[in-house]
Structure 1
Amino acid sequence: MARPTLQDVLNGLQAEGHLAPDAGERARTTMEVYRRTDVATPWFVKALAGFGAWVAAAFLLSFFGCVGLWNEEALLAVLGLIIGGGATLLRRSTRGAFMEQLALALCLAGVAMVQTGIAMMTESEIAPAVIQLVLGAVLLALFPDAILRFLMALGMAGAAVFLLWKGLGELGMQLGLLGGAVLVHWLLLEQARLRRGRWGELVGPVAFALACGVMGALLTLNFAGAFVRELRMHGISTPDAVLTLGLTALTLYTAWRVMKELGLEASGVAGAAVFVALGVTALMTLHTPAVITAVGMMVLGFHRRSAVLLGLAVAFLLAAGGWYYYDLGLTLLAKALALTGSGLVFLGLRLFLLRRFPVAAAEVR
């Protein structure tokens, strides 16, 4: 079957009442502008322009260092605000690979200068985290760049988890990770509705930043054993099973929402099979919350047809599964039998669902 043209898609949407009568002309004008400005420039030219912009920003910052600015904490923070504000105005008023990358580099440098200056003046660990939350929220709203929004959302999530850890210890850290996972699932489940709103452009960068942050943090906590022990000595200590149960409840809710949108009865045989499989997975990996987290991200990736999120979730699941295998207190033969048995169970579940609900399975694919 041949791919439909852009005109065919626009005509179909207009016939269904999803587009205004003049939307076709505006879409063609937008595509023409995009073709002339972005597609017409070869990728290597954009790469060289971006590299030149980062080099220019590095030379500018090195000049400030040569004149001794890094020893003046207050002036450093003020200059960082000026550079960040100027970079934001530059990004909003200009286009082109060089100017966009220059504005991005200068804005990131400005944020780092403000945080460094505030940290040196206050000699506090909390002040930079608070500054990151404030500046990140401002730049999310004002700086129209997906890369910076991704980085700012990631930094804000890290700052929020750090503040919760400082206040509540391990319990706060787990609450922060669980809250980040809840926000990821909510953003992606409500993606279609949220994208039509005022802040629709933030949905994608924020969701992917939180997904990378949550999965990366859980994977780091698994591998950094000595560091984790130091974290648990601070504040309220809670077992990993509590976080796993919370993430399992979130994954079960997501699976229920996905089945509901696909027209499957969650209270029927298919729903029971899926919920039992997820529950067994959680019970088998109570002390490795990264596994059920990766499963939930895979569900979201399949449901939203996001190849990037699906790839991240698969890579994360392999890493988490490898750590789970290594951490099992069993002999090699028992580990092999456990992995083989679990694989056969899930393959059998897939075969059962495909045979019992072939129409729904075809729609998912």
Structure 2
Amino acid sequence: MDNIKDIEPFLDTIGAVEGSAFSFDENAIKAEYAKQHKRRSNLVIKVLSIFGILFATFAFFGFLAILGIYESELGMLLLGSILIVLSLLLNIKFDTLIVDTFGASIYVLGIALVSFGLISFELHEDLTTFLIITIALCSLFVVQNYILSFISILIIASGFLVFIFSKDLFELLHFYTAFYALALAYCSFNEPQFFTSGLKVSKIYGPLRIGLIFSLLFGLVAVGNYRLAPMSQNLNWISSLVHISIILYLVGPITKTLGVDSKNTKIWIYTLTCLTLLPTLFAPSISGALLIVLLSFRVNHKTGLGIGIVALVYFVIQYYYDLNLTLLVKSILLFSSGVIFVLFYLFLIKKAPTNEKV
């Protein structure tokens, strides 16, 4: 629902289906919708706030360096712990953008100081990574703040990547991308359950979804760049197979939305989908970006859709650039893929319902 005026007819429709047993507090629903709409409208400000958090954190790092806090391992550990607890208390007590930004800034700073403190105590790097992931996971359950939850999800994903890169276990990146692709798909397919599972769960759904998108992108960037993660390209099908399987599963709801009932038409749709996805079998970055686009389109997540489109364009260009083939072969591959996409587009335009109300 893009407009608060759409709530009343929507509730009337539900009441007609459920019967007289259905009851609701319309004023409370409208108030909560207005609150959530205000949070969504501030998304750009929140994104800018994240960059502000980074600059503020770096500046405070410089201030701590002047004070000589880095010379004391225990001092870093204690100060970091205090900042983390303080950020959580601030976000529990207050719900304003300024406090959110300040709380997230000291949260990031606290995580960094705790990490440096643990490393300075010569604690094993795996244990340090595990403790940081645990702190971020606990923060995620304690505070349902948008920015803080988003940062916590990214910290958890970064912890997994640190473990993979520190051990040179680059093949595990395929399982990393598969896990986050499945997690993102689960969130998208079960969006109604998140919003009806209580206030805490509904609050965490927004940052969870965008956090999973960025976490998946981290893995796709690593998998798609052999210079960053030197590993055998023969195993790329592992990640792609998961992405392609989810995309094929999405075809069913999409054909239902288009009003396609003919069995032959569905066969053609699945055939064209397979032909479109076949070239991406050894290019998991492309199939992963395409998955983000389709999942975001399915739930009308405009931010995710924009991120997915930009990522798709980037990964296609990168894949084309990295191909160890002649320019003629590259041109033939791009031409063939383009023809398939155009045919798929024309087919969908022809089969799309013409009397659909927007």
Residue identity opposite 2:84 in structure 1: G
1:272 partner SS: helix
Q: Which amino acid aligns with 2:352?
A: P
After superposition, where does 1:273-288 map in structure 2 within 5 Å?
273-288=268-283
Cα gap change, 1:117/1:270 in structure 2, threshold over 3 Å: closer, same or farther?
A: farther
> CA 1:176 to 1:4, structure 2 compared with 1: closer, same or farther past 3 Å?
closer
2:205 pairs, out of 190, 203, 206, with: 203
Residue 7 of structure 2 corresponds to which residue in structure 1?
9
Alpha carbons of structure 1 residues 149 and 21: separation in structure 2 relative to 1, 3 Å: same
User: What is the CA–CA distance in structure 1 between the aligned matches of 2:216 and 2:241, rounded to whole Å?
Assistant: 16
User: Does the 8 A contact of 1:91 with 1:143 survive in 2?
Assistant: yes
- Say if 2:74 is the partner of 1:74: yes
Gaps of 5+ in 2: none
Match in the other structure for 2:296: 301
Q: Which moved more, 1:127-136 or 1:336-345?
A: 336-345
CA contact (8 A) 1:171 1:238 kept: no
Bigger shift: residues 183-192 or 167-176: 167-176
Name the % identity.
19
Partner of 1:256: 252
After TM superposition, the score normalised by the length of structure 2 is 0.81
- 1:177 counterpart letter in structure 2: T
2:306 matched to which residue of 1? Answer: 311
Question: Which letter does structure 1 place at the counterpart of 2:250?
Answer: T
Q: Are 1:243 and 2:239 matched, yes or no?
A: yes
Q: TM-score, normalised by structure 1?
A: 0.80
Superposed CA offset, 1:218-271 (max 9, x none): 234433x33322xx39xxx96222322232223222333544576656x93343
Q: Give 2:176's aligned amino acid.
A: G
Q: Are residue 341 (structure 1) and residue 336 (structure 2) matched?
A: yes
* 1:358 corresponds to which of 336, 352, 358: 352
After TM superposition, the structure 1 stretch with the greater mean CA deviation from structure 2, 24-33 or 82-91, is 24-33
8 Å CA contact retained: 2:100, 2:147:
no
Quote how far apart the aligned CAs of 1:141 are.
Answer: 1.5
Q: Does the Cα contact within 8 Å between 1:240 and 1:286 map onto a contact in 2? A: yes
Map 1:117-266; keep pairs closer than 5 Å.
117-163=117-163, 169-198=169-198, 199-223=201-225, 225-229=226-230, 232=231, 239-259=235-255, 264=260
Distance 1:69 1:205 in 2: 33
Gap regions ≥5 residues in structure 1: none
The match for 1:322 is 317
Q: Distance in 1 between matches of 2:182 and 2:308?
A: 16
Compare 201-210 and 80-89 and name the one that shifted more. Answer: 201-210
Structure 1 residue corresponding to 2:286, chosen from 264, 270, 291: 291
In 2, Cα distance between the equivalents of 1:11 and 1:117?
A: 56
Contact 1:129 1:163 (8 Å CA) reproduced: yes
User: Offset at 1:130?
Assistant: 0.7
The Cα offsets for residues 303-338 of structure 1, whole Å up to 9 and x where unpaired, read as: 111211111111111111112222334433332233
Number of residue-to-residue matches in the alignment = 350
